[in-house]
Chain A
């Protein structure tokens, strides 16, 4: 390897290791928190930190844009040296960054902060409304049911339930987690949905793709979640397509989280991919030129 090649390899590695995935994770966590607080405060004049979270999300978006500019500048420099910037570039895994973060142990909560277990009935009630499936009765031998360890595992289970078309299984898996794990689905699915939709369409999703995606996924989402509002699915699809969203009251956070997870499963099934491909360590599936949606 020549000195120039070594320099090029080092710069490419630096560019690829820029924390774009972590910044995306931060953005999605902050958006998810904002959505939940907005729902809590919708009839209160107290902002409960929502404007500050909006500012924080905006700063994170600017940071992400600055990182992309840095990557572009490095690519331009490499091109100026006569080195192709994208030679041997690894597949983009940033969209799974949220799933990988979910597998890390969570930071220890503050001593004064109680665990959000009190939301259990609130979560289960909403899951029942969305899926039409009542919480499963306790097991006869008293053994606790097997529960997903974290949100990433829950998403894989939901995707497996969608693939098999088994609404009872979907209900069991969603009932089986606490509210915090379930609500986390909103944050981890955002980037995954955008990527899967892009793979299905064969290009970056845009506002013109809204109708096509609705046609590809809407029916199956509604059949698995008869209790979800069409507005929730439309909001999710508009986000994926970066299309303007209709002004409406904040959706119930559980509705957004559950519908996003089922939509993820539907898009995966449309692509013919196994739920295990959501594992951050799984090899990247080949990106199709576009599946007939």
Chain B
């Protein structure tokens, strides 16, 4: 039979996965920033459409990761609020 301690532990195990996901997102954003700088330096002065598309896609990726991180923070908050009521 499940106990409050077990439910809480299961939610915490899920939150541990979220924490690891957040760490991966943060690491991805750091690498993405480096890639944006590297691309900007290498392609400075290029008016090629493909270069513009690459810059735009990297910016979009970064924005999506930022929003992803924000959504995980809300999820963690909601889950912690729930376990506090157990």
Contact = CB atoms under 8 A, between A and B. Distances in A.
A119 interface: yes
A66 B61 contact: yes
Interface SS of chain B? helix
Interface in A47-63: 47-50, 52-53, 55-57, 59-60, 62-63
A30 interface: yes
A114 B67 contact: no
A179 B76 CA distance: 20
Contacts of A76: 50, 53
Interface string A5-20: 0010011001001110
A80 interface: yes
Contact of B71 (A11, A52, A114): A52
Contacts of A14: 35, 38-39, 42
Determine the interface band of chain A, counting residues with CB < 8 A from chain B: 35 or more
Contact of A40 (B10, B21, B57, B78): B10
A88 interface: no
B71 to A, nearest CB: 4
A29 interface: yes
Interface stretch (A105-113, A132-140, A239-247): A105-113
B58 A25 contact: no
User: Max chain B CB contacts within 10 Å: which of A34, A50, A56, A64?
Assistant: A56
Given A19-B32, A33-B18, A116 B64 contact: no
Kindly list the 6 A-B residue pairs having the minimum CB-CB distance in the complex, ordered from nearest.
A29-B21, A49-B75, A59-B68, A52-B75, A56-B71, A19-B28
Interface of B: 2, 5-25, 27-29, 31-32, 34-35, 38-39, 42-43, 48, 50-51, 53-54, 57-58, 60-62, 64-65, 67-69, 71-72, 74-79, 82
